[in-house]
Amino acid sequence: MTDPFVQPEEPTAAAAIAAISEDLSLFDDWMERYEFIIGMGRKLPPFPDEWSNDAHRVPGCQSRVWMEAILRDGKLYFAGQSDAAIVSGLVALLMRVYSGRPPAEILATDPVFLKDLGLLEALSTNRGNGIAAMARKVREVAMLQAG
Amino acid sequence: MNVMTNLVAFDVTRIRDDFPILKQTIRGKPLVFLDSAASAQKPRVVIDAMVQAMETQYANVHRGLYWMSERTTEAYEAARDATAALMNANNRSEIVFTGNSTGAINLLAHSYGRGVLRPGQAVVISGMEHHSNIVPWQMLRDAHGIELRVAPVTDAGELDMDAFAALLEDGKVGLVAITHMSNVLGTITPAERIVKIAHAHGAKVMFDGSQAIVHRKIDVQALDCDFYVWTGHKLYGPTGIGVMWGRKELLERMPPFMGGGDMISSVSYEKSTWAAVPHKFEAGTPAILEGIGLKAAIDYVQTIGYGAMAAHEASLTEHALARLAGVDGVRVLGQAQDRGGVISFTLDKAHSHDVATLLDRQGIAVRAGHHCAEPLMRRFDLDSTARASFGVYTTHAEIDALVDGLVRVREFFQ
């Protein structure tokens, strides 16, 4: 089985955010931006079918998002997927930032970058958006590991 | 087909001028707001009425003996008169103000459910209810030994009337609580027939009119129902105020739901006695400003007239259904004969969340998700749909924008 957990491309979460920001800046048309985001989602490692269940479900209203996490050598790795293409892309961006990082680094990285990059209108208030819930879940998992 | 020429008296451009928010642009594009079924925008008269009340005549109601409080009480109670007239209630005291439809249904489930219905009796809902007309009855079922029965929905998205009637056969049903218009399918349920069947079997009837009252003239005496609930914010009024209409003799039999100020006749440590209806159901300081805003909203829709609103929305719905039928891959949920301006649909190549996100980028606001009706979604083997819903200010051009937007979304996912 291919490793379902996302391997980091950049050395740090901050570098990943900078890289995403640069990627997105290449597009001035929102359609192209979304095409890029959806493409990111399609490149996620395959999410195991047996994890696509309620136990792995991130509570959200409009689309379904599933995730799993694992601790390897003091670093947290995440796997995730959504049934919606754009949300899957946002999951991929989130994982690119957070997966393969030590819990302390995860906690030090504010998910506000999703908003700063224009990927989400609001992080905390929109219960409809599974991605905001996932960002919270990532922090919860990190907090648990950080003790 | 040029339906608009038939609507000489109804000028949507003038109507739109009444709604300040509609002049906004979103991401540089004019706002196309197609989510009125979730909450409608507010006309200037509603905004002004609430601001004016705060600026000129605000005090608590039903208490003060001074000029300001009396003026506020008068303005707030005028909302009750306007509501009674809107629904053709027999008596203003049959109008109970709540926080919203959910508050109204919970009030009914607690007060009528626990106070009048007896364990072993049943409540019938339908397969196209909003969660707010499911969960309170489940809670009643679990707490009070009431059976919950669900009348099925046909493939066309209509209430299966034979199956509904069969559910009442054994005479155990004490209350039928059914939507008057589905917030997902747009289906208008056959209210008069439902009441006739229910009454013939000794059951009372409550309609959830949250959607229906926006699109149809509601006459509770003509419907002959027993309770009718709705919420102000979908009828161009403020949030925080809802309505439960009930027959006076039933309201009088019902125990209070919440205790507190304003709902009592007298209080001592040994015993308290309740105020007369409707006040015994209205504990605490009510939504005063919202009541004043609701009155303004009711006056507003009465001035336009339900006839004109319904004709406009029927024309919009017909136009939307015809245009959506022309978009490859679009599936509209339900084909009810009698329907209002709410259309749920799916696009074959894209999740409804993606559809809504990409439409939003084009300045078009639709709802995506399960619309707080998960059992109905499951009935149609879906997790979610996109939903466009129309209001008095919606234009045919906005529907064209939606259709053009959908074509772009579909091309995007090719």
Q: Is the pLDDT of residue A122 over 80?
A: no
Looking at the predicted structure, is the pLDDT value of residue A126 above 70? no
Asked whether residue B102 falls in the same domain as residue B213, the answer is yes
Do B198 and B345 share a domain, yes or no?
no
Look up the CATH number of the domain holding residue B321.
Answer: 3.90.1150.10
Within an 8 Å CB–CB cutoff, is residue A21 touching chain B? no
Element containing residue A77 per DSSP (H, E) = strand A75-82
Choose the final residue of a domain: B302, B334, B355.
B302
- CA B177, CA B175: separation in Å to the nearest integer? 6
Residue B401 and residue B296 share a domain:
no
Instruction: State residue A61's pLDDT score.
Output: 52
375-394 in B: which are within 8 Å (CB) of A? Answer: 383-384
B chain contacts of residue A128, beta-carbon cutoff 8 Å? 368-369
Q: Which of B253, B272, B302 lies at the terminal end of a domain, its last residue? A: B302
> What value, to the nearest 5°, has the Cα angle with vertex B336 and ends B103 and B309?
65
The answer to whether residues B101 and B136 belong to one domain is: yes
Q: Are residues B7 and B56 in the same domain?
A: no
Per-residue model confidence as pLDDT tens digits over A66-114: 999 999 999 999 999 988 888 899 999 999 999 999 999 999 999 888 8
Distances (CA, A) of B252 to B116, B249, B268, B277, B284: 11, 5, 22, 7, 19
Going from the C-alpha of B239 to that of each of A122, B29, B157, B290, the distances in angstroms are: 22, 27, 29, 7
**Total domain count, chain B:** 2
Q: Which of B373, B340, B339 is nearest to B126 (CA)?
A: B373
* B360 and B385 both lie in a single domain: yes
Q: Which residues of A are catalytic?
A: 61
- For residue B373, give its domain range: 2-43+305-413
Contacts of B69 (CB under 8 A, 6+ apart): B59, B60, B61, B63
Query: Taking CB atoms and an 8 Å limit, are B354 and A84 in contact across chains?
Result: yes
User: Chain B residue with minimal CA distance to A35?
Assistant: B412
B21 and B60 fall within a common domain: no
Q: What mean pLDDT value characterizes chain A?
A: 88
Q: Do A86 and B413 touch (CB under 8 A)?
A: no
What's the confidence (pLDDT) of residue B5?
A: 46
Could you write out the DSSP letters of every residue in B68-137? HHHHHHHHHHHHHHHHHHHHT-S-GGGEEEESSHHHHHHHHHHHHHHHTS-TT-EEEEETT--GGGTHHH
pLDDT, position B414: 80
Query: Which pLDDT belongs to residue B371?
Result: 84
Distance in Å, alpha carbon of B229 to nearest chain A alpha carbon: 26
Q: Tell me, yes or no, whether B293 and B375 share the same domain.
A: no
> pLDDT at position B21, please?
96
pLDDT of B222: 98
pLDDT of A134 over the 70 cut: yes
Residues of chain B with pLDDT under 50: 1-7
Same domain, B186 and B67: yes
Q: What is the arithmetic mean of pLDDT over A47-76?
A: 88
Q: Which of these three, B258, B276, B302, is where a domain ends?
A: B302
Structure confidence at residue B1 (pLDDT): 41
Answer whether B357 touches A (CB < 8 Å).
yes
Q: Are residues B177 and B230 in the same domain?
A: yes
Q: Are residues B179 and B36 in the same domain?
A: no
Residue B314 and residue B342 in contact, taking contact as beta carbons nearer than 8 Å? no
Q: Which of A111, A107, A99, A91 is nearest to A71 (CA)?
A: A99
Which A positions 45-84 lie with beta carbon below 8 A of chain B?
61-64, 82-84
Residues of chain B in contact with residue A86, where contact means CB-CB under 8 angstroms, are 353-354, 357-358
Residue B151, beta-bridge partner list: B126
pLDDT tens-place string over residues B288-313: 999 999 999 999 999 999 999 999 99
Same domain, B258 and B336: no
Q: What CATH number corresponds to the domain at position B53?
A: 3.40.640.10
Are B354 and A85 in contact (CB < 8 Å)? yes
Q: How far is A101 from chain B (nearest CA, A)?
A: 29
CA distance A87 to chain B (A): 8
